[in-house]
Chains A and B, each alone.
Chain A
Amino acid sequence: MRDALRRLGPAWAALLALFATIVVAGLMLVAGGYDAGLAGGALVAGAVGSREALLSVTMVRSVPLILTGLAVALAFRAGVWNIGAEGQLYAGAVAGAWVGLSGGDLPAWVLVPAVLGASAGAGMMWALVPTVMKLRLGVGEVITTLLMNFVGINLAAYAVHGPLQEARGVFPQTDPIAAGARLPALFPGTRLHVGFLIAVALAVALWALLRWTRAGFVLRSVGAAPGAARVAGRMDARRTVWVAFLTSGALAGLAGGVEVSGVTFALYEGLSPGWGYTAIAVALLAGLHPGVVVVTGILFGALEGGAGSMQRVAGIPATWVIAVEALVILSVLAVDQLRRRVVRGGVHG
């Protein structure tokens, strides 16, 4: 058992964590008096049971999860505990919607990049505040990014109640964005949009950056062991934190812009059901590996996509999925601790 655990690679560790989650979640369902088998079946059917479910529900949901998951993974790799993807996503959504609304009849090749660029920029600005507070004032980013989430969520609420509210002035939402500001569908007749390709391309790019470039190596070193990075590597940790933090914010902001531009075509309150928080589970389960974030992003997309069907068929509240997401985080951390303890024991023994 000890040897097996010691040799456990990251992929197996993730699978073990997933297995533990399924077992505990099943026990919780049974304890709650539900039919766990029925619930699981409904969840799977709702998530991947048909082409429609897979392409229009699961994959569509996975896009913001992959993008925010990448944001979290990048920051965590650099030792920056950015818990603020949710707020950065909202900042990006507001900026993207604003550009999309004021686009008029500009062509798509101008407007789409403008929307996505504005959302990424806004996410970056949202991360700028905690970055400056961390590097200039020494304030921990866990608190500041978390608090900035509330500001971001309420910024979006203010926008749709005030300056960006629809012309009719009835609902707290914006008018539909310009036709040229919308991302094209990937397959005709489904809701899956080009944003998925953008997310996958960014995942590959980040993977290559971390794996093959000098900057990526510096980022991983600073995150893994700041002392060794500074002394042995003569690396500039502050600069690395700057770049990683702001890029992380940009990725999360992009998630908001892509959602507005690809799915909702409008901004409204409650645009995100907490993707920026789920992103932490997505990133941790992926072992902070950008390529794997695509897989875990789709997995969580399926979980959220299947939740509705589970509610209809087995009568289990869809919010129960949130508990499962929390379980994933706990399981990942537990497996990680277990591995560490065993490995450490091995070195001294």
Chain B
Amino acid sequence: MTQSFPARLHGITKRFGSVEALRGADLEVHAGEVHGVLGENGAGKTTLLNVLAGMLPPDAGVVEIGGEERVLRSPRDAWHAGVGMVHQHFTLVPTLSVLENLALGLRSAAWRLRLPLADISARVDELSRRTGLGVPLDVNVEHLGVGDRQRVEILKALLREPRVLVLDEPTAVLAPSEVQNLFGLLRDLADGGRAVVLVAHKLDEILGVAHRVTVLRRGRTVLAAHRSEVDAPELIRAMVGSAETDPIAVGAWKDDGTPMPRVPGEVVATLARARVWDGRGSWALDDATLDVRRGEVVGVAGVEGNGQHELALVLSGRSVPTEGSATVPDGVGFIPQDRTLEGLVGDFDLTSNVALGLHRDARFASGPGGMLVRWSALRAQTRDLLARFDVKAAGPGVRAATLSGGNQQRLVVARELEMARDLLVAENPTRGLDVAAAAFVHGELQRLGQADQPPGVVLISTDLDEVLALSHRIFVMVRGRLTSVPDGARSREGVGALMLAANHA
């Protein structure tokens, strides 16, 4: 049977340096349907959509649009082929009016001294009537809320009459009521014959809107089905995978499911009814109570954006809770999930990067009041860390930005372990790493428990395999709340069921 799809991707491969983001992913988009793309973080969802929208050229694979094979070299190519993208991060000019923003980049507006704003205004009015997307046109974008800004982005895309509309995590910035409005709109667009492709983190959102789903896992398409053919547990299983694929060396638990012997240490960090306000009308972290003891690994599983980042910041002493209390030790190491933004200074050399945080350590200070930095000692320390943690770098004097992602992460892990005398907080420590680098990080986390005076570890991760393999105790985090996972539910299915239950509670 040969069927002509509005868009079809086949066998797409894409590498970034040492990281394989896509390893032969497929996507078939049907006309008149909303198509949800699911997957854990780092599964390749955004990369796949970027390939479809012409933002990234694939290393291998076939892109077909409207039944024709295409080579998309730029977003402009994709536009001409009929694919329009609404980005996760807005691309509007804040100081221009909505109408002027809509006019930007329109073909009819190119090479004119005066924008044909009246024409465009008429077209926008007509489009607004058809889609129900109402936005005031004469207001500057900077005065609009995020929901309105997103409507402007969508209008901007629709003005070019795409056959396929691609949205990358459109719900991430929206309040719940706005999400419902958006989904109604996407359904209407699909009913009008367009194909709509979207990525969203939250499973129930996709289930509520999509006619068809594709699940990616570690760069491959593992499931593609009509919505009516699958249920939530099946999708979760597809997302997190089964035990046979990519096993992680088992750490905290023996094969028979009993905990490895460990010496229960003293409590090093305590949260008591801690809450963090998100500034948008709800608690990002809600009523969290938790003790962390020396020598144990506390795992926190959950879908991105359920308050994990706030939890990590509070536990690592980077922020204080809005309500409740947090007691955290001085000797705390923190492996942030975004190493390029929060872990390293790309323009600094490796020694200076190791000094971040360690600059406060008495070992590396001299002079009155410890006001001087002992760079020679830090250089020696850096050399030692590079060797011990097998960081591939020419020496302590090279800039951090020149290292590969895996080696950057090794450096961050090395430094933070040095700092973690009492507590280590790791947030998605293996995100974006290749298998070898991820295995290294897992090994280091496990090795930590064998020290004489081991720190407590909090492992916050969206990678369920990682949490299951390394943690002594597991919590699920949904909508800012921590739910303890009983030992009997220590499995992908068990944790997945808990997530769903908490979600619908």
Residues in chain A within 8 A of chain B (CB atoms): 212-215, 217-218, 220-221, 224-225, 227-234, 343, 346-348
Taking the closest CB of chain A, its distance from the CB of B330, in whole angstroms, is 10
Taking the closest CB of chain A, its distance from the CB of B156, in whole angstroms, is 27
Q: A227-B341, A231-B343 are in contact. Are A214 and B373 (CB under 8 A)?
A: yes
User: 3 closest Cβ contacts across the A-B interface?
Assistant: A231-B342, A225-B345, A233-B356
Which residues from A are CB-within-8-Å of B375?
212
Closest chain A residue to B336, Cβ basis: A231
Asked if A228 contacts B342 (CB within 8 A), the reply is yes
Tell which of A217, A231, A234 touches B352, judged by Cβ atoms closer than 8 Å: A217
In the complex, what distance in Å separates the CA atom of A291 from the CA atom of B153? Answer: 49
B: contact size bracket: 20 to 34
Number of A-B contacts (CB under 8 A): 76
Q: A225-B345, A231-B318 are in contact. Are A217 and B402 (CB under 8 A)?
A: no
Asked if A213 contacts B373 (CB within 8 A), the reply is yes
In the complex, what distance in Å separates the CA atom of A263 from the CA atom of B317? Answer: 53
Which residues from A are CB-within-8-Å of B373?
212-214, 217
Asked if A221 contacts B356 (CB within 8 A), the reply is yes
Q: Is B17 an interface residue (CB 8 A)?
A: yes
Q: A214-B370, A232-B334, A343-B401 are in contact. Are A348 and B17 (CB under 8 A)?
A: yes
Asked if B359 contacts A233 (CB within 8 A), the reply is yes
In the complex, what distance in Å separates the CA atom of A212 from the CA atom of B359? Answer: 11
Asked if A212 contacts B372 (CB within 8 A), the reply is yes
Tell which of A224, A343, A347 touches B345, judged by Cβ atoms closer than 8 Å: A224
8 contacts across the A-B interface (CB closer than 8 A): A217-B359, A221-B345, A227-B342, A228-B345, A230-B318, A234-B360, A348-B16, A348-B17
Which residues from A are CB-within-8-Å of B412?
232
Q: A214-B371, A227-B341, A234-B357 are in contact. Are A347 and B402 (CB under 8 A)?
A: yes
Taking the closest CB of chain A, its distance from the CB of B359, in whole angstroms, is 5
Asked if A214 contacts B372 (CB within 8 A), the reply is yes
In the complex, what distance in Å separates the CA atom of A346 from the CA atom of B398? Answer: 14
Chain B residues 356-411 with CB under 8 Å of chain A are: 356-357, 359-360, 365, 370-373, 375, 401-402
Q: Is B126 an interface residue (CB 8 A)?
A: no
In the complex, what distance in Å separates the CA atom of A339 from the CA atom of B491? Answer: 50
Tell which of A215, A234, A343 touches B318, judged by Cβ atoms closer than 8 Å: A234
Asked if B344 contacts A224 (CB within 8 A), the reply is no
Query: 6 more A-B contacts (CB under 8 A) besides A233-B356, A343-B402?
Result: A217-B373, A225-B347, A228-B343, A232-B336, A232-B415, A233-B357
Taking the closest CB of chain B, its distance from the CB of A239, in whole angstroms, is 14
Which residues from A are CB-within-8-Å of B342?
227-228, 230-232
Q: Is B443 an interface residue (CB 8 A)?
A: no
Q: A224-B348, A232-B334, A234-B318 are in contact. Are A218 and B357 (CB under 8 A)?
A: no
Q: Is B346 an interface residue (CB 8 A)?
A: yes
Which residues from A are CB-within-8-Å of B336?
231-232
Q: Is B355 an interface residue (CB 8 A)?
A: yes
Which residues from A are CB-within-8-Å of B357?
232-234
Identify the interface centre among A212, A228, A229, A233: most chain B CB within 10 Å of its CB: A228
Taking the closest CB of chain B, its distance from the CB of A130, in whole angstroms, is 22
Which residues from B are CB-within-8-Å of A217?
352, 355, 359, 373
Taking the closest CB of chain B, its distance from the CB of A7, in whole angstroms, is 12
In the complex, what distance in Å separates the CA atom of A213 from the CA atom of B369? Answer: 11
In the complex, what distance in Å separates the CA atom of A302 from the CA atom of B359? Answer: 41
In the complex, what distance in Å separates the CA atom of A229 from the CA atom of B318? Answer: 11
In the complex, what distance in Å separates the CA atom of A224 from the CA atom of B342? Answer: 12
In the complex, what distance in Å separates the CA atom of A320 from the CA atom of B336? Answer: 52
Which residues from A are CB-within-8-Å of B372?
212-214
In the complex, what distance in Å separates the CA atom of A227 from the CA atom of B375? Answer: 23
Identify the interface centre among A217, A224, A230, A348: most chain B CB within 10 Å of its CB: A217
Which residues from B are CB-within-8-Å of A232?
334, 336, 342-344, 356-357, 412, 415
In the complex, what distance in Å separates the CA atom of A343 from the CA atom of B402? Answer: 8
Taking the closest CB of chain B, its distance from the CB of A232, in whole angstroms, is 4
Which residues from A are CB-within-8-Å of B371?
213-215
Which residues from A are CB-within-8-Å of B359?
214, 217-218, 233
Which residues from B are CB-within-8-Å of A214?
359-360, 365, 370-373
Which residues from B are CB-within-8-Å of A230?
318, 342
In the complex, what distance in Å separates the CA atom of A221 from the CA atom of B349? Answer: 12
Taking the closest CB of chain B, its distance from the CB of A220, in whole angstroms, is 8
Chain B residues 134-162 with CB under 8 Å of chain A are: none
Which residues from B are CB-within-8-Å of A343?
401-402
In the complex, what distance in Å separates the CA atom of A6 from the CA atom of B317? Answer: 39
In the complex, what distance in Å separates the CA atom of A346 from the CA atom of B412? Answer: 22
Closest chain B residue to A6, Cβ basis: B402
In the complex, what distance in Å separates the CA atom of A346 from the CA atom of B345? Answer: 18
Q: A214-B359, A214-B373, A228-B344 are in contact. Are A234 and B317 (CB under 8 A)?
A: yes
Closest chain A residue to B365, Cβ basis: A214
- Residues 403-434 of chain B: 1 if any A CB is under 8 Å from the residue's CB, otherwise 0? 00000000010010000000000000000000
- Residues 306-330 of chain B: 1 if any A CB is under 8 Å from the residue's CB, otherwise 0? 0000000100011000000000000
Taking the closest CB of chain A, its distance from the CB of B99, in whole angstroms, is 27
Taking the closest CB of chain B, its distance from the CB of A142, in whole angstroms, is 15
Which residues from B are CB-within-8-Å of A227?
338, 341-342
In the complex, what distance in Å separates the CA atom of A175 from the CA atom of B341? Answer: 56
In the complex, what distance in Å separates the CA atom of A214 from the CA atom of B361? Answer: 11
In the complex, what distance in Å separates the CA atom of A348 from the CA atom of B344? Answer: 18
Taking the closest CB of chain A, its distance from the CB of B206, in whole angstroms, is 31
Q: A214-B365, A224-B345, A227-B341 are in contact. Are A347 and B356 (CB under 8 A)?
A: no
In the complex, what distance in Å separates the CA atom of A215 from the CA atom of B371? Answer: 7
In the complex, what distance in Å separates the CA atom of A235 from the CA atom of B365? Answer: 16
Which residues from A are CB-within-8-Å of B347?
224-225
In the complex, what distance in Å separates the CA atom of A233 from the CA atom of B343? Answer: 9
In the complex, what distance in Å separates the CA atom of A228 from the CA atom of B341? Answer: 6
In the complex, what distance in Å separates the CA atom of A230 from the CA atom of B341? Answer: 10
Taking the closest CB of chain A, its distance from the CB of B335, in whole angstroms, is 10
Taking the closest CB of chain B, its distance from the CB of A22, in whole angstroms, is 28
Taking the closest CB of chain B, its distance from the CB of A191, in whole angstroms, is 38
Taking the closest CB of chain A, its distance from the CB of B276, in whole angstroms, is 16
